[in-house]
Amino acid sequence: MTILVTGGCGYIGAHTIVDLLENGYDVICVDNNSRSATRLLEGAEKIAGRKVMNYKTDLCDFEATRKIFEQHPVEGIIHFAAFKAVDESVREPLLYFQNNLISQINMLRCAEEYKVHHFVFSSSCSVYGNADVIPVTEETPLKKAESPYGRTKQIGEDMISDLAKVSAGRFILLRYFNPVGAHPSAIIGEVPFGKPSNLVPAITQFAAGKLPFLKVYGTDYDTRDGSCIRDFVHVCDIAHAHTLAMDYLAKNNNGTNCEILNLGTGNGVTVLEAIHAFEKVTGKKLDYTMAERRTGDVVAVYANNDKARKLLGWSPRYGLEDMMRTAWEWELVLDGR
């Protein structure tokens, strides 16, 4: 089965390509490299021992996107390609609406035109906003998104939900919580675009001396230590869920043609607890500073993952210390140590 992976040169995309290849799938990658480079794809090929056809195509260009489908018999799509920095989306909302939504529309149009009936969408826990009750389940009512990025994911889910009502295709929407860590080989990991906006690459870059400071945004949240609560999940666990989702779609197991699944460990971890976990596994003391809340951040969110466990047979294999250890080992590779 040939799977088209959009954004395959990115962090989660590259790890997913490894998992797909190791489980017998053929992969075609498309990535315009506006927020990535080919390094991670090349690393994925090295780990899996297989080459991957890669198209440097802007998915906002519909005709250029169609040409890929004209050249290859694509049987499944995993759609990662999107801008994802919460703080940048607050500053430049139109950029996010244009890039994330138009590219998704074009992929769905091609899926319909070329009868690609297996579609996995990269969504986010940001769709929940500041949920009234946690852990959140897939039935938890969605609140107002706290950022334009989160809103593009809400709209993206609605787009697929509406299409599924009239489509012969089958769709799975995977709501990621906070992907972190790196492949245990340290051949691929997260490469932030510019200054990191996510916690773990900020931690590792600060520890490596690449950042002058490490800020914890928010000291007065209603949590056990005043910092935000997140559900950190290893990127390899996230990647494997996509392979399982494609397996599930290929077997025609789903009773509905549009399933939504949470991908999180089910454990809420505060920002300060994450920092302390890094300090424990590396032996490095971090002289972080406390700062005011950051616009776009939710207070707390973590997952109920029962549905993913039941439908896909998915369960996280890596703990928080594994996440921090592999992230640091990858940072040392990037730093040339």
Distance CA 324, CA 337 (A): 17
pLDDT at 337: 65
Residues with Cβ within 8 Å of 184's Cβ and at least 6 positions away in sequence, in order, are 236, 326
- State both tokens at 292: 């005011």
- State both tokens at 73: 């018999």
Average pLDDT over residues 61-77: 97
Highest mean pLDDT among 191-195, 247-251, 271-275: 271-275
- State both tokens at 204: 């590792």
pLDDT in tens, 161-190: 999 999 999 999 999 999 999 999 999 999
Out of 25, 149, 221, 318, pick the active-site residue: 149
Domains, the chain, in order of start with CATH, read 2-182+233-265+311-316 (3.40.50.720)
Paired with 174 in beta bridges are 122, 261
| Residue burial 259-272, b: 16+ Cβ < 10 Å; e: rest | bbbbbbbbbbbbbb
Residues with Cβ within 8 Å of 161's Cβ and at least 6 positions away in sequence, in order, are 258
Among 90-94, 193-197, 252-256, the least confident range: 252-256
Residue 288 appears among annotated catalytic residues: no
Residue 333 corresponds to which amino acid? V
pTM for this predicted structure: 0.96
CA-closest candidate to residue 316, choices 178, 143, 157: 178
Other CB atoms within a 10 A radius of the CB of residue 213 amount to 10
pLDDT in tens, 29-38: 999 999 999 9
Would you place residue 228 in the very low, low, confident or very high pLDDT band (cuts 50, 70, 90)? very high
Distance CA 177, CA 231 (A): 6
DSSP H or E run through 160: helix 148-164
Cβ neighbourhood burial of 287 (10 Å; 0-12, 13-18, 19+): exposed
Distance CA 337, CA 329 (A): 10
Distance CA 110, CA 131 (A): 34
